[in-house]
Structure 1
Amino acid sequence: MTGASSPSSQQDTQPIKFAYWVPNVSGGLVISKIEQRTSWDIDYNRKLAQIAEASGFEYALTQIRFTAGYGAEYQHESVSFSHALLAATEKLNVIAAILPGPWHPAVIAKQVASISQFTGGRLAVNIVSGWFRGEFQAIGEPWLDHDERYRRSEEFIRVLRGVWSEDNFTFAGDFYRFRNYTLKPKPSSPPEVFQGGSSRAARDMASRVSDWYFTNGNTVEGVKKQVDDIRAKAAQSGHHVKIGVNAFAIVRATKEEANEVLDEILSGADPEAVRAFQHEVQNAGNASPEREGNWAKSSFEDLVQYNDGFRTNLIGAPDEVAQRIVELKSVGVDLVLLGFLHFQEEVEFFGKHVIPLVRALEAKEAARTAA
């Protein structure tokens, strides 16, 4: 159609979005003995959400853990914690991590519908297919093979969308069955559906059913390969997927100061905890048929930050970090999901010193394109 724009061209004109990992799990976001002025408690997190909202962040992602490990001795449940953050803010969207297996889709569909009604539709979900076998064993849940976990997650998402949008919903899948089920009230607006993963099964699932795809930290070139792959697959079915990338931000006045902090994190790494984490996640990453799942090729240094956040290289002075973010946007990234060492003060610093530079670079690029 004449004058129509492609999803990629539309993405180029949209400001890149910013999200942060919610520290609703103890231990911070690095497996290191370095000081982390970050708390998992609700008072700290309510204030953090308000700071993030005022600083230009549009999303917050809560974590889901059922068992302790790798410094995460204490964990608050994701849906209830997300609701508490929504109640403390006015614009921030909160993404609750959901694990199929422990949750039945009817339960989460009803929870999200009610919270959506209470908060103006600001609750989204991140469907986590699962990587930690020991966690499933600890709570008595069957452990499925890698690709079966993604088949279950896809059914889970299809059920959520059906229950949220249809009356007398009927579904006959391999994992879930519904017969003439009607949910009332429904969400005040269709909740966004996020998912993660790097394997073939994860990317294929995103290309069919998800609104957003989260990838672990990676270089610009590595992210581009994933973006191109997912969007080519999605185009075949007329679907469009937005892309979020994980990054651990270390922004200081100078590049040298930022690198010093990175060195301190790595030198303070807890080798025993990192290797235990490495053992679990690389078993999960290598469980995919093509052996290309999350963490399959992560080094020890990469895994000091849970989701390969150092690899995205948002480490340096504000202008350097802003430039790298715009480079990520140029290859199709729509959102950057950020972790920090000291969340409250660093989220505020990032909003004051990095986001305005990103917006200025975006405006400059838009003017150049228009000319």
Structure 2
Amino acid sequence: MTAPLLFGIRIPVGRTGRPQLSPSVHRDAAVAQARRLTALADILGLDYVFSGGDAGLSSETTLALLGAARRLTVVAPISVAAWHPALLARFGAVAARLSGGRFAIDLRSGPHPDDHRAEEFARIVRGLWTGGRVDVDGEHFRARGLRPSVRPDVAPEIVVSGGWRAAASLAARTGDWYLHPGAGPDEVPAQVAALDGEAAGTGREVGFAVSVAATLEEPDAVAARLVKYGRSGAGLVVLDLADPEVDLPVFAREVVPRVRELERARTLVAVR
């Protein structure tokens, strides 16, 4: 039986769907709003919150969002150019332990011809999170006999996001999810097949996620489109809402129940 579609929401810190908040002057207000939206998403039953802002993780912001929720996973944007993997691994292990495993990272590198930097970064981080000795002699990062000082009970998930050519391959080798920025439902089966093929070569399974800009004027149409994503092979839809404070309750109360009803109907047909 196909697993129910998971839902996440992207919350850009400093953007409200209304006039832009200046990160330097109004950062506290932006983070406070992000906390409110995270708490709301948690209460309404979403599975992930993707913390926005630039790709350099703010540890204070991430901890603030983790503290605002009790169930969902907070996914923090990580630039491999902004962090050393050992430092990120330590922070992530602490965040995961404090939150009961609700911390994940969105690994971003950029549209480079190759992503050796990101792959080396992920190998070190994952090795430290899984508790073994790490030996990486890379072009960008080196770790000789490195061992974790803090170990998470469960290794945080690694999301690899991006539409450049190397992103899916990088996710197949190092990620738990590949997040495509806007593939249509009809494009998903080919994307999933390619991802599964590459991941199988390394004995791994990687979920396919897609970012979707959603307008909620017609909940039935939105629900049907989201279910089509699930039927096409996506396991997670990350919503970009124009005004999350207004749109998120509408999505949870009007769209999600329709999605679950359509999923149940399909399951019953399959069983028969």
Same structural fold, with TM-score higher than 0.5 when normalized by the shorter chain: yes
Q: Per the alignment, do residues 77 and 125 of structure 1 end up closer, same or farther by CA in structure 2, a change over 3 Å counting?
A: closer
| 1:217–1:245 Cα contact (<8 Å) kept | yes
Q: Which stretch of the first structure deviates more once superposed, 228-237 or 358-367? A: 228-237
2:266 matches 1:358: no
Aligned to 1:42: 31
Q: Per the alignment, do residues 170 and 235 of structure 1 end up closer, same or farther by CA in structure 2, a change over 3 Å counting?
A: closer
Aligned to 1:118: 98
Q: Per the alignment, do residues 152 and 64 of structure 1 end up closer, same or farther by CA in structure 2, a change over 3 Å counting?
A: farther
Shift of 1:17: 0.5
Q: Per the alignment, do residues 207 and 358 of structure 1 end up closer, same or farther by CA in structure 2, a change over 3 Å counting?
A: same
**Number of matched pairs:** 265
Q: Which stretch of the first structure deviates more once superposed, 174-183 or 342-351? A: 174-183
CA distance in structure 2 between the partners assigned to 1:14 and 1:124 by the alignment: 21
Structure 1: segments with no counterpart, 5+ residues: 1-11, 32-38, 67-75, 132-145, 253-316
Shift of 1:29: 9.5
* SS class of match (1:147): coil
1:184 counterpart letter in structure 2: S
Aligned to 1:109: 89
Structure 2: segments with no counterpart, 5+ residues: 21-27
Q: Per the alignment, do residues 221 and 167 of structure 1 end up closer, same or farther by CA in structure 2, a change over 3 Å counting?
A: closer
Aligned to 2:25: none
CA distance in structure 2 between the partners assigned to 1:188 and 1:208 by the alignment: 23
Shift of 1:28: 4.1
| 1:63–1:78 Cα contact (<8 Å) kept | no
Aligned to 1:147: 113
Q: Per the alignment, do residues 206 and 30 of structure 1 end up closer, same or farther by CA in structure 2, a change over 3 Å counting?
A: farther
CA distance in structure 2 between the partners assigned to 1:40 and 1:335 by the alignment: 29
Kindly indicate which of the two structures has a greater share of residues assigned to strand. Answer: 2
Aligned to 2:234: 333
Aligned to 1:225: 190
2:15 matches 1:26: yes
RMSD: 2.1
2:44 matches 1:55: yes
Shift of 1:93: 0.4
* SS class of match (1:125): strand
Identity %: 31
Shift of 1:198: 2.6
Aligned to 1:187: 152
CA distance in structure 1 between the partners assigned to 2:19 and 2:191 by the alignment: 25
CA distance in structure 1 between the partners assigned to 2:264 and 2:113 by the alignment: 42
Any runs of at least 4 consecutive aligned residues in structure 1 with deviations exceeding 3 A, and if so which?
Answer: 25-31, 76-79
* SS class of match (2:80): coil
Structure possessing the higher relative contact order (Cα contacts under 8 Å, 6 or more residues apart): 1
* SS class of match (2:14): coil
CA distance in structure 2 between the partners assigned to 1:89 and 1:79 by the alignment: 16
| 2:57–2:79 Cα contact (<8 Å) kept | no
- Return the match for 1:177 from 133, 136, 142: 142
Aligned to 2:129: 164
Q: How does 1:194-343 map to 2 (within 5 A)?
A: 194-252=159-217, 317-343=218-244
